[in-house]
Copies of this chain bind each other. A is one copy, B any other.
Amino acid sequence: MRTAFLLYDKVTALDLVGPYEVLSRLPGMTTLCVARQRGPVSSGSGLQLYADCSLEDVNSADILVVPGAATATALRDAPELLEWIQKIDRSTCWTTSVCTGSLILGAAGLLKGKKATSHWAVLERLAHWGATPVHCRVVEDGKLITAAGVSAGIDMALILAAKIAGNAAAREIQLTIEYDPQPPFDSGSPNKAAPETVQSVKARTAQRFEPA
């Protein structure tokens, strides 16, 4: 089984690495990072990731993971990336996204009539691509699985691991990566964070995320 992770300039590293760390631990899984060109790709935080393959090198995958970025909407002007996503989607058992990666799936035309989620601050923009926005951590609609912001990719990947290899295998991966989260604050969702925290992040996000 093969998982292709889309890499592109300014991608959010944790969107990709959370699911990568989980899915790569499944027995018999091959994982590939795919970008316009093979070689280093700068993530949004400055961390450099490395693409194993170019778009031309990869024509199919069992699972596609599209991570997000603050600049995700800019990819709607990158037809070669969107066409590659459409092509890979025709071959997948599961097409997935993390954070604003769902906006990229939307731009590729894969969300029409589907339920989907995204980073909370841009969730409503999914409607622009014909999707029904759902404020849940992980949203499934047929073979489409979308996760909420950044860290939600870990939860999504554990759900997917259980579908592929069973609950026992997914539980073993969870224990192996000691995923027993204990955030020091309860501020990870707009429903839980203080109003001033939400307002501040929204203001910053509005500047950062490019318009739909």
Chain A residues with CB under 8 Å of chain B are: 12-14, 17-18, 20-21, 24-25, 31, 33, 40, 45-50, 52, 99, 119-120, 137-138, 148-152, 154-155, 158-159, 162, 167-168, 170-172, 174-185, 187-190, 192-194, 196-198, 200-201, 204-205
**How far is it, in angstroms, between the C-alpha of A204 and the C-alpha of B175 when the chains are bound?**
12
**How far is it, in angstroms, between the C-alpha of A159 and the C-alpha of B185 when the chains are bound?**
9
Task: Establish whether residues A178 and B149, one from each chain, have CB atoms under 8 Å apart when the complex forms.
Answer: yes
**How far is it, in angstroms, between the C-alpha of A152 and the C-alpha of B179 when the chains are bound?**
7
Task: Establish whether residues B201 and A185, one from each chain, have CB atoms under 8 Å apart when the complex forms.
Answer: no
This chain's copy number in the assembly: 2
Which residue in chain B gives the minimum CB-CB distance to A190?
B175
**How far is it, in angstroms, between the C-alpha of A197 and the C-alpha of B162 when the chains are bound?**
14
Task: Establish whether residues B158 and A175, one from each chain, have CB atoms under 8 Å apart when the complex forms.
Answer: no
Residues of B within 8 A of A175 (CB): 187-190, 193, 197-198, 201
Which residue in chain B gives the minimum CB-CB distance to A155?
B182
Task: Establish whether residues A178 and B17, one from each chain, have CB atoms under 8 Å apart when the complex forms.
Answer: no
Q: A152-B178, A184-B159 are in contact. Are A47 and B18 (CB under 8 A)?
A: no
**How far is it, in angstroms, between the C-alpha of A45 and the C-alpha of B149 when the chains are bound?**
23
**How far is it, in angstroms, between the C-alpha of A76 and the C-alpha of B12 when the chains are bound?**
33
**How far is it, in angstroms, between the C-alpha of A170 and the C-alpha of B204 when the chains are bound?**
15
Select which of B14, B33, B49, B179 is within 8 A of A188 by beta carbon: B179
The 9 A-B pairs of least Cβ separation, nearest first, read A149-B178, A180-B188, A48-B50, A181-B181, A171-B187, A24-B45, A150-B177, A14-B21, A180-B189
**How far is it, in angstroms, between the C-alpha of A182 and the C-alpha of B45 when the chains are bound?**
24
Residues of B within 8 A of A12 (CB): 21
23 contacts between A and B (CB under 8 A): A13-B17, A20-B45, A21-B45, A21-B150, A24-B45, A24-B46, A31-B45, A31-B47, A47-B49, A49-B50, A137-B180, A150-B176, A151-B177, A151-B181, A154-B183, A159-B184, A167-B185, A171-B187, A171-B197, A172-B197, A172-B204, A176-B201, A180-B183
